Amino acid sequence: MAEKAFKYVIIGGGVAAGYAAREFANQGVNPGELAIISKEAVAPYERPALSKAYLFPEGTARLPGFHVCVGSGGERLLPEWYAEKGISLILNTEVVKVDLASKTLISAAGETFKYQILIIATGSTVVRLSDFGVQGADAKNIFYLREIDDADKLVEVIKAKKNGKALVVGGGYIGLELSAALKINSIDVSMVYPEPWCMPRLFTSELAGFYEGYYANKGIKIIKGTVATGFGTNENGEVTDVKLKDGRVMEADIVVVGVGGRPVTKLFKGQVEEEKGGIKTDGFFKTSVPDVYAVGDVATFPMKLYNEMRRVEHVDHARKSAEQAVKAIFSSEQGNSIDEYDYLPYFYSRAFDLSWQFYGDNVGETVFFGDGSPTSPTHKFGSYWIKDGKVVGAFLEGGTPEENKAIAKVARVQPPAHSLDQLATEGLTFACKI
């Protein structure tokens, strides 16, 4: 089969690939120089839409509506945009073999691609219940959500099982966003997760208390402190019930699983240095191999603000790391340099009429502020994280754009916290003064 050669190749066609493509165009890439190789069938899109408006019964998001870069208020890059720029969008193509030494990639169909500079943007894949040997985990109507094909299957089952029962396994991002989306579609929803409260990797017990109360008021049943250990099926192999470790059995027509993601690094094992489960990079997203960069979910990079190597599985970093890598590539080609990546962590979520943002680091002591009653009509509240006498992280539910900017500034500036009681009393006013 013919070999194709490009100056620059991006493996992966997700968020980071799309934002990288826009930056390549900004930097004046020549037609024919750049290829994006993606196993997905569509041009890069804003993945966060899949667990939100893609599943709504009204105001539904569909492509081409949410191609990158609309999620950050930018231009929408339709497939035609890539063609106009002379960027090869090689879709439905999974890279199955990589040889970084000879700069060669091989696809599942046996095509060979050569590159001079490679950007790894393979993102994450879902952790599966079958990975922990849960009995019956391959039954029909057990769903995961990562790519648009997965979201299409969910849309189909939501239609097919109108007024049915769903069990959502996992109390993280997918668990909370999918439970809300299913409930909005009039499905009877229960959630099950092992921890004492939802989203434990970010939420304090007070923050989680609000969301659990709010979900319960919407009619979502929450079962904590246990896990799914097996699934019952009917004669068609479709799931009918879920067995829990605590002995309970829950009826279910649909099971949605969100028990975490895992960076897609397998193709590169043994060829590039790894750290903390990701591909190790510097502040320009260069890996240990010359001419190879890694961005988005797969990169473990120096988080300058905290003087620590970290990996981040969120969209804002996918966008910004991709732009940083492309700027670094062009500046080094021109013999110039750019500043090292200096990232302020930013995570957000939306479900029902709720919307929160978090900036910074969730370490140290915490202070809750505002009205955290699940029945309050305003539901505006938040939390600060205080370490070594400084405010290092801030969370806000229901903030205005100005208020969200204020908490972002707090996390970046890290002002001193003289008294935790005073912080709790001042609440959002503290952030707005910085």
If one asks whether residue 47 binds ligand FDA (CB under 6 A), the answer comes out as yes
Please, what is the minimum distance in Å from the beta carbon of residue 312 to ligand FDA? 7
If one asks whether residue 359 binds ligand NAD (CB under 6 A), the answer comes out as no
Binding mask 92-131 for ligand FDA (x = CB under 6 A): --xx-------------------------xxxx-------
Structure tokens at 56: 């709504």
Binding mask 337-356 for ligand NAD (x = CB under 6 A): ----------x-x-------
Residue type, 15: V
Q: Which residue is nearest to ligand FDA (CB)?
A: 14
Query: Among 1-9, 156-164, 166-174, 332-340, which window interacts with ligand NAD (CB under 6 A)?
Result: 166-174
Q: What are phi and psi of 281, to 5 degrees?
A: -130, 170
The whole-angstrom separation of Cα 265 and Cα 120 is 9
CB 32 within 8 A of CB 5: no
Residue type, 285: F
Q: What are phi and psi of 305, to 5 degrees?
A: -60, -35
If one asks whether residue 158 binds ligand FDA (CB under 6 A), the answer comes out as no
Q: Characterize the bridge pairing of strands 34-37 and 3-11.
A: parallel
Query: Among 11-19, 152-160, 182-190, 249-257, which window interacts with ligand FDA (CB under 6 A)?
Result: 11-19
SS3 35: strand
Please, what is the minimum distance in Å from the beta carbon of residue 142 to ligand NAD? 13
136 binds, options ligand NAD, ligand FDA, none, Cβ within 5 to 8 A by partner type: none
The whole-angstrom separation of Cα 276 and Cα 309 is 8
Cis-peptide, bond into residue 415, ω within 30° of zero: no
| Residue 106 neighbours by CB distance under 10 Å | 15
If you count them, how many residues does the chain have?
Answer: 434
| Residue 425 neighbours by CB distance under 10 Å | 12
Interacting residue with ligand FDA among 23, 40, 274, 323 (CB under 6 A): 40
If one asks whether residue 172 binds ligand NAD (CB under 6 A), the answer comes out as yes
Please, what is the minimum distance in Å from the beta carbon of residue 47 to ligand NAD? 8
The whole-angstrom separation of Cα 391 and Cα 369 is 14
Please, what is the minimum distance in Å from the beta carbon of residue 54 to ligand NAD? 12
Please, what is the minimum distance in Å from the beta carbon of residue 379 to ligand FDA? 19
Interacting residue with ligand NAD among 147, 177, 188, 212 (CB under 6 A): 177
Structure tokens at 48: 């966060």
CB 287 within 8 A of CB 122: no
If one asks whether residue 260 binds ligand NAD (CB under 6 A), the answer comes out as yes
Footprint on this chain of ligand FDA (rule: CB under 6 A): 11-17, 37-40, 47-48, 50-51, 94-95, 121-124, 145-147, 264, 267, 296-297, 313-316, 318, 347-349
